[in-house]
Amino acid sequence: MPERTQVAIVGAGPAGLLLAHLLHLRGIDTVVLERQSREYVEQRIRAGVLEQGSVDLLTRAGLADRLHRERLVHNGVELLFDGEGHRVPLTELTGRELTIYGQHELVKDLVAARLATGRPLLFEAPAVSVEDVTGSPVVRYTHNGVERELHCDVVAGCDGFHGVCRPAVAQALTVYEHVYPFAWLGVLAEVAPSAEELIYASHDRGFALHSMRSLAVTRLYLQVPPTDEVAAWPDARVWTELRTRLGRTAGFTLNEGPIIDRSVTALRSFVTEPMRHGRLFLTGDAAHIVPATGAKGLNLAVVDVAVLAAALERWFAEGDESGLEAYSATCLSRIWRVQHFSWWMTTMLHLTPEADPFARRLQLAQLRYLTGSTASATSFAENYVGLPFPEGAFTP
């Protein structure tokens, strides 16, 4: 028998689960479909930096109790170049702070919240197709070996870059993409962080980032060629390169420990316009990807969801379609600003494959200006900690 809901949500990552919860708070019925297992989505290592706006929304929605107990709060960030660290006091310059909390931990919280509502959250239920989005939308999916069809008023495509929602309406979309000529080797190590705040290092051998997931787990990244395989980076080579790129003239020791996870990830910028076709609305990685340098991907997805949830609330309650009609333009305005910041930060910190000495001198000049000018540091800080949410976004 065909099934029915108001909003079919494809994808149980942070975007899909948060959207489901915000709509639940307003009494809007949803079904969440996820192609992977629960274990997979709860263990998948992703970003861990949350802007204050994201934390504020999660808090008001009743989703941040564990986050507040376990998070790390950062009030600054360090830029390392010429063998010296330069702290940018983010909170002092903007009045806002950053939270470090693993995305997989946030997903665990969101899954638990969804299950507590008793509403459908189907794992290992891949969507096969999304049909008739300009009329009466239908999502066809499989679960327990049976193909099913879910009828709905709206489809929320929260299924990431490789999902089925964006391809279903690809003919109506324009895609903008830039692929960077380098990748990130990311490692997770069971060792206490070597610093209290993030360190972005610009070195003559390439970019490095010192981050963390907790007081006992460190997250580290190295710029590598996009053709590199994980096997090319055994532990000894990873730590040697990190010591070199994060080294300075004095006052720093890199803590080393067992590496429990490593991966190589290409860097790209990607935007789909518009983010809506008919009754299908794209959110998060299904609509846009930013290079990880500025830690914006998850936070952009949170804003997408806050804007979409508010628009759906008004439509279901009052028949007011103005928010749905403005959804794409509202989100894209912020997305392109964040794309520019992430591109600028990436190009400022990473070496080009040609190792152009002229380009390198320009990078160092920009870094010196940024860390030596209050006006430049303030502009950087405002973008890094996150711009205010768009007017009219969901408020629990």
Strand partners, 209: 200, 221
Q: Which CA distances in Å does 46 have to 78, 134, 225?
A: 21, 34, 20
Angle between the 374-385 and 322-349 helix axes, to the nearest 10 degrees?
Answer: 130
How high is the pLDDT of residue 2? 62
84, 372 contact by CB (below 8 A): no
Domain locations in the chain as residue ranges: 3-74+96-177+268-352
pLDDT digits (tens, 9 = 90+) for 82-105: 999 999 999 999 999 999 998 999
Classify residue 171 by its DSSP letter: G
pLDDT at 307 over 60: yes
The Cα 355–Cα 367 span in angstroms is 17
Amino acid residing at 181: P
pLDDT digits (tens, 9 = 90+) for 141-190: 999 999 999 999 999 999 999 999 999 999 999 999 999 999 999 999 99
Q: 3-74+96-177+268-352 belongs to which CATH class?
A: alpha beta
pLDDT at 131 over 70: yes
Confidence grade of residue 353 (pLDDT, cut at 50, 70, 90): confident
How high is the pLDDT of residue 249? 85
Q: Which residue, 173, 122, 142, is CA-closest to 280?
A: 173
pLDDT digits (tens, 9 = 90+) for 357-392: 999 999 999 999 999 999 999 999 999 999 999 999
Comparing 40-54, 101-115, 261-275, the range with the smallest average pLDDT is 40-54
Question: Does the bond joining 274 to the residue before it have cis omega, within 30 degrees of 0?
Answer: yes
